[in-house]
Amino acid sequence: MERIRNWLGGEPLLPIGVLAGLNLVDEFDRIAFATLTPEIRDAFDSNDATINTIATLAAVMILVTAGPVGRLADRMSRVVLTWFAAVLWGVASLLTGVVPTLALLLVVRIVSGIGRNANEIIHPGLISDLYPQRLHPRAFLVHRLANPIAQGSGIIAGLLGGSVGWEWTFVILSIPTFFLAILLVRIEEPRRRGVGEERREIGMLAAVRELRHVPSLRRFWVTAFFLAAAAVGIFQLISVYFVEIFGFGPVVRGFTQSLVGLGWVGGIVIGARAVDGRTDAESAGRLATVCSRGFGVIALGALGLAAAPVAWMALVTTTIMASGNGVWQAPYFSAVGRIAPPGLSGQAYASATLFYAVGALFSIPLFILGDQVSYRLAFVAVAGLAVVATLLARSVAPLIRAALAAAVPE
C-alpha cells in the first residue's frame, strides 16, 4: 500500500480509490447488460436492434443532463453530487432485474444513464483538483482502469446469468455501489484550481460561449462525436457479433468481454505512460497525438474483426481494438483538465461528453446494419468512423500546444 502511495506522490489513496470503485461498479452494470443482451431480448420477446437501442438511449441521456450536471459540478459540492449519482444508478441497476415490461426497462436504463453522468463529468474535475497536475496521468490511469477491469465482470455476468438468471445478476451486481457510497462521505471537497474562495457565478450559456473560444476544446468536441459513434457501436455489437457469427453462449461471451478488458487495460497503461509527468507546453501536443494513435488502433482492430474467418482470430482482433480504446483515455482527460478555463472544468467535461452522446446516437444505424445486413459490415463502418476520429485528434496537437504555451506550471 505504501508503494502505491509513493507512486501517487504521497497523495491520499482514498479519493481515487473510491472514485475508481464507483466507476468500476457502474461498468459492472453496463457490461452485464451487453453480455446478457440475447437473454434480455428473449425475455421481453424483442429483437437485437431494440435492446441495443435501449442501451444506447440510456447512454445518450447525457444529451438532456450533461449541461445542467456540468453547471452543478462548477457551483456545488462535487462529492455530494457524486454520492447522489451513485445511489441513483445503484437503484436503477437493481430495478433492471425486477421490471416486468420493456417500457419499464427503458425507464430504469435511462435513469441509470443519468446517474452515470458522474463518471464522465463530475469525477474528472474532482480528480483534477484533488491531485497535482504532474500526477494527473497517474490519477486518471487508476480511474480509467476501472472501465477495462470491469470487463472481467463479463465472466461473472455470464456465470450468474447461466445459473441464477439475468434478473438476479443485476440485483447482485448493484450491491457494491451502496458500500462505496458510504465511503464517499469521508472525502473532503477540494479547492478548485485557479479559482479563489468566491466561485465564478456564470450561467451555462455564458460558460459554453467561453469554452467555444478555446480552439483545442472545439476540435476535441468534434473528435468525440466520431469516436462515440464507433466506440458505442463496438461494445454493443461485440456480444451479438459472436453469437451470430460463431455461436458463442453466455459463458464464452463473458470470456470475450474479459479479453476486451485485458486489451483495454494494456492500452490505458501505454497511453498514461506515454504522457506521464509531461507538463511543459512543448510536449503538450503529445496528449492529442497519443489520443489519435489510440483511435487508429481501434480502426485497425475493427477491420480485422470484420474480416476474421475463425473465432480465435476474431478474439485477437477484438483485444487489439479494445487496446486502442484504452490508449486515448488518460491523455484526453489530462488535456481537458489542463486547457479548461479556471472554474469551468465541469462544463468543459460536460461539453465534450455531450458531443460524445450525440455521436452515440449515430451508432444506432450500426445496430440496424448488423441486424438487417451484416455484422461484419457494421464493423467496417466502425473502422471508418475511427479513422475520422484519428485524423481530427491529430489536428488538435498544435492547438493544444498553443493553448498551454502560456500556462504557469504548478
Amino acid 410: pLDDT = 41
- Which of 196-200, 371-375, 403-407 shows the lowest mean pLDDT across its residues? 196-200
Residue 4 domain-assigned?
no
DSSP string, 86-144: HHHHHHHHHHHTT--SHHHHHHHHHHHHHHTHIIIIIHHHHHHHHS-GGGHHHHHHHHH
Q: What is the C-alpha separation between 169 and 30, in angstroms, rounded?
A: 12
Residue 91 domain-assigned?
yes
Q: What is the C-alpha separation between 111 and 319, in angstroms, rounded?
A: 31
Residue 24 domain-assigned?
yes
- Highest averaged pLDDT of the listed ranges 148-157, 176-185, 203-212: 176-185
Q: What is the C-alpha separation between 57 and 113, in angstroms, rounded?
A: 8
Map residue 410 onto helix, strand or coil. coil
Residue 19 domain-assigned?
yes
Residue 6 domain-assigned?
no
Residue 386 domain-assigned?
yes
Query: From start to end of 103-191, where are the E strands?
Result: none
Q: What is the C-alpha separation between 23 and 91, in angstroms, rounded?
A: 15
Residue 276 domain-assigned?
yes
Asked if residue 277 has pLDDT above 70, the reply is no
pLDDT top residue among 80 and 118 = 80
Average pLDDT, the chain: 82
> What is the span of the domain harbouring residue 23?
11-185+204-404
Amino acid 298: pLDDT = 94
Asked if residue 309 has pLDDT above 80, the reply is yes
Q: Are 304 and 362 in contact (CB under 8 A)?
A: no
How many H-runs (helices) and E-runs (strands) does the chain carry? 21, 0
pLDDT digits (tens, 9 = 90+) for 225-245: 898 888 877 777 887 888 888
Domains in the chain, number: 1
Mean pLDDT of 171-199: 80
Residue 68 domain-assigned?
yes
Q: What CATH number is attached to the domain comprising 233?
A: 1.20.1250.20
Q: Are 140 and 333 in contact (CB under 8 A)?
A: yes
For cell 417500457, name the residue. Answer: 103
